[in-house]
Structure 1
Amino acid sequence: MPTIKIPTPLRAYTGGKAEVSVNGETVGAALADLLSQYPELRQHLYNGETLRNFVNIFIGEEDIRYRDGLDTPLEPNDSLRIIPSIAGGAIELIAPESVELSHDEIRRYSRHLIMPEVGIQGQRKLKRSSVLLIGTGGLGSPLALYLTAAGIGRLGLVDYDVVDETNLQRQVIHYTSDVGKPKLESAAAKLSDINPYILIEKHNTPLTSANALEIMRNYDVIIDGTDNFPTRYLVNDACVLLGKPNVYGSIFRFEGQLSVFYAKEGPCYRCLFPEPPPPGLVPSCAEGGVLGILPGTIGTLQATEAIKLILGIGQPLIGRMLLYDALSMTFDTIRLRKNPNCPVCGPNPSITTLIDYEEFCGVPAHDRSDYKEKNVQHNVRSISVHDLKARLDAGAQVVILDVREPHEWEISAIEGSLRIPKGQVVARAAEIPRDVEVVVQCKSGVRSRDAILMLQQLGFTNLVNLAGGINAWAREIDPSLPIY
């Protein structure tokens, strides 16, 4: 009997199962059987009767798009894998000439120099190279630390956020004493102490369509350490337009993805994911969580791929994607192909300049965007925690709908709230009153907004979003509740 491996973001809809046995002689029949067992998966996999563009199905290492699609026949022991989007050989990028190593550097890098695959010439390549790291958070922390220690000559950092306590569980370049400081300043101080022989360049700005090409064009290798879809597509398209390799990594809960997208020699990110998922369908790490050690694993592997590209050794992950599952402690590799109809790297591209990626993805690229503006943009009414408290104190008839996951309710909750996880609000819509005002609440206001948009499609007109979520309630109304 064939099986289908379920990625972490979708396991909430399969009762937590990581693998499901199905009946069917074709991929389409197997998916139909999966949906008969777990109907709530349909909205995540299909748009009507068509498989969504941000969902890919693999049999072993093979993408079904390059076989017979949903009509691809199955053998009884075949294992299918659903690959959703989550926020070749060696190439010679750097010549070793024109830089020398000091005696102090030779001693520092001696463990590299005694390896024939690196040696003096390879270390000179590293010193002459330049790498742009986009983000100094979960993935960016191990990336920056190890690239600095390895002797990358010029390391550019793009970030404009500040260190928050919630970062410290996984962003190991930042310390408790750094809370409240700009991440760039925090990271640069550590990196300069690790290796004073390299140049750290700080770009304290959001990466946007207006500045991406100017910032990125002066670096040899671009590394994507972002956590949102607009910036991910922006980085991909800019790398294609500039002819730069893009070392990609993404993480969610217990799973990670890793690849090298280099349009000169293989596919780009859009070849695999032509378009992003609809807003709210795939949660971010801030909403869904991430195992603290996971970015260390994936970020270190990204650093490895960048160093291989610079040295011109080994087989970079061009045309392949590495999939990591920390729970089963497995690494799997799937093969990727260049899409001849790709709108950015195909022979007849329709994207020849950078576009508005927030509009393309339907979500803001930066968490620090004004929250009220997001609600207005999505036609969602909001209420502040102070206004909600005043209404409750006045005895107004208000229902609070908490759409977080059950394990989050154990952390903190507003007493008396109706609790339905976001993934179940459509199926359980009958439990939600329509004749009184319903204030929808999550951790920070993002999932609750998405839940409102889904319920509005069912005709609900009495829904209001709690701006800032339960964290704002804990911060401003009830300090006895923890903030997480």
Structure 2
Amino acid sequence: MALAPLVSPGPELSRAELLRYARQMALPQIGLEGQRRLKNSRVVVLGAGGLGSPVLLYLAAAGVGTIGVVDRDTVDVSNLHRQVLHPDAAVGERKVASAAEQLRRLNPHIEVIEHDVEITPETVLDLVSEYDVVVDGTDTFDVQIIADAACALVGKPYVWGSVLRFDGQATVFWSQAPGGAARTLSDLYPDLERRGADADETCAIAGVLGPLCATVGGILASETLKLLGGYGEPLLGRLLVVDALDGTTTEVPFGTAEPATPRVANVGRPYDPFIDGPTAGGSPGPAARPRNERNTMQDDASTDSVSVSELDSLLQARARGEADFVLVDVREPHEHELVSIDGSVLVPLGGILSPEAREAVPADATVIVHCHHDGRSQRAAQALRQSGYDDVRFVRGGIDAWVAEIEPEKPRY
């Protein structure tokens, strides 16, 4: 079911614009009027990384008049294989600045707005309220929950995608879609606890095929243009699954025809995903999710964890013979080879209870475990405690925080 266009036609096109978009306007579903709608459109893209790169490039090339770019990160060389919007020369620059520069070069007829801010319950409403469509290219489940709740609250279509390894997904959420098509994130993932259990499986850890980002990002851009122009069949209530290994796509229907209930409890106030109760509508909220890479347990910090500055002091004390503990790196070998903390012992999480691990980490030892952030290290610490280790702590923020605060000359990934 095609929906009504979200945007009215804007000003007349200049001769330069008529020439630029001629092949696009040749499509009867777009035409001159549709191109004027795009010129009058405002779209914000959350994340300028692997998914955000192709989305931003194609929206800019299509002539979307105003594009907002939201990202708080910097360009990293380890991401360039999939974040094709950024050149090698931009490594170390703010992503929003790099993205905006490339988009303005690509199409001088559009306006690009830079939002160099973190997406939080306090900032999200300002980010999404002034745009016609919100496209999510982030890879953090907490951010997706916040963005979905905000879009549901203000009635904005929320174009969503995900990529990991060789698998991609794309769909459209819209709490105010007509004709029984209203959907929100909770319709796709009613069991947020199960979804949250995989939330620390990020591209940095599990890897991702670069061209898959272009495939899924192109779908997200197409869905956005369809919503703006009011043509075609949006992916409302349908999840498009892409398997790059098999070269297949599968459509999975989800949700019901009942009006979607926006989950908005956490928007507009400080948000703690581990103390907030169930979200609006009775769906299990972020509090139900296990601890993951991007959410350290602050309430356990005094007894179960150490900060990177505390670890630095402990390592210096160990070097002087004033402390005795084993620092265990539970990441994978390729991560350890890229960057490591001097004096650590590599025991990947999958083998943390193996006989080899017992030899490297005696049961009566004081143990401190770390990973990339701290999701895997928290699971490792729990497993060790359950197997009889008495004194086990994890490093808050992992080696990413260590490099940022203690050894900035080492690479981050």
TM-score by length of 2: 0.81
Q: Identify the match of residue 188 of structure 2 among 253, 268, 272.
A: 272
Closer, same or farther in 2 for the Cα pair 1:439/1:242, shift >3 Å?
same
List per-residue Cα deviations over 1:245-301 (Å, max 9, x = no partner): 110001112211110112222321111213244567642222322223332221121
Residue 335 of structure 1: aligned partner: 253
List per-residue Cα deviations over 1:405-461 (Å, max 9, x = no partner): 355456566788654432454687983533111121323444223422454455644
Residue 164 of structure 2: aligned partner: 252
Residue 316 of structure 2: aligned partner: 390
Separation in 2, partners of 1:177, 1:352: 39
Separation in 2, partners of 1:402, 1:239: 39
Q: Identify the match of residue 381 of structure 2 among 436, 447, 452.
A: 452
Q: Identify the match of residue 401 of structure 1 among 328, 334, 337.
A: 328
Residue 177 of structure 1 deviates from its aligned partner by 2.1
1:270 is paired with a residue whose SS is: helix
2:245 is paired with a residue whose SS is: coil
1:358 is paired with a residue whose SS is: coil
| Number of residues of Structure 1 aligned to a counterpart in Structure 2 | 389
1:331 is paired with a residue whose SS is: strand
Check if 1:443 corresponds to 2:368. Answer: no
Check if 1:298 corresponds to 2:216. Answer: yes
Closer, same or farther in 2 for the Cα pair 1:372/1:233, shift >3 Å?
closer
Residue 175 of structure 1 deviates from its aligned partner by 2.1
Matches within 5 A, 1:356-371: 356=271, 358-359=273-274, 360=276, 361=286
List per-residue Cα deviations over 1:84-108 (Å, max 9, x = no partner): xxxxx22123354342111110001
Contact 2:122 2:267 in 1 (8 A): no
Q: Identify the match of residue 229 of structure 1 among 132, 135, 141.
A: 141
Separation in 2, partners of 1:213, 1:288: 31
Matches within 5 A, 1:26-175: 89-175=1-87
- Taking every aligned residue pair, what percent have the same amino acid on both sides? 37
Closer, same or farther in 2 for the Cα pair 1:307/1:98, shift >3 Å?
closer
Any stretches of 5+ residues in structure 2 without a counterpart? 277-285
Residue 99 of structure 2: aligned partner: 187
Contact 2:146 2:267 in 1 (8 A): no
Contact 2:200 2:375 in 1 (8 A): no
RMSD, aligned α-carbons: 3.6
Residue 242 of structure 1 deviates from its aligned partner by 1.5
Separation in 1, partners of 2:267, 2:297: 30
Separation in 2, partners of 1:418, 1:149: 49
Closer, same or farther in 2 for the Cα pair 1:222/1:463, shift >3 Å?
same
Contact 2:146 2:266 in 1 (8 A): no
Closer, same or farther in 2 for the Cα pair 1:365/1:309, shift >3 Å?
farther
Any stretches of 5+ residues in structure 1 without a counterpart? 1-88
Closer, same or farther in 2 for the Cα pair 1:377/1:208, shift >3 Å?
farther
Check if 1:464 corresponds to 2:379. Answer: no
Separation in 2, partners of 1:268, 1:117: 27
Residue 324 of structure 1: aligned partner: 242
2:159 is paired with a residue whose SS is: strand
Separation in 2, partners of 1:191, 1:248: 21
Corresponding letter in the other structure for 1:188: A
List per-residue Cα deviations over 1:80-135 (Å, max 9, x = no partner): xxxxxxxxx22123354342111110001111122222211111111111111111
Corresponding letter in the other structure for 1:387: S
Q: Which moved more, 1:435-444 or 1:321-330?
A: 435-444
List per-residue Cα deviations over 1:287-345 (Å, max 9, x = no partner): 32222333222112111111111122221111110111222222111111238596x34
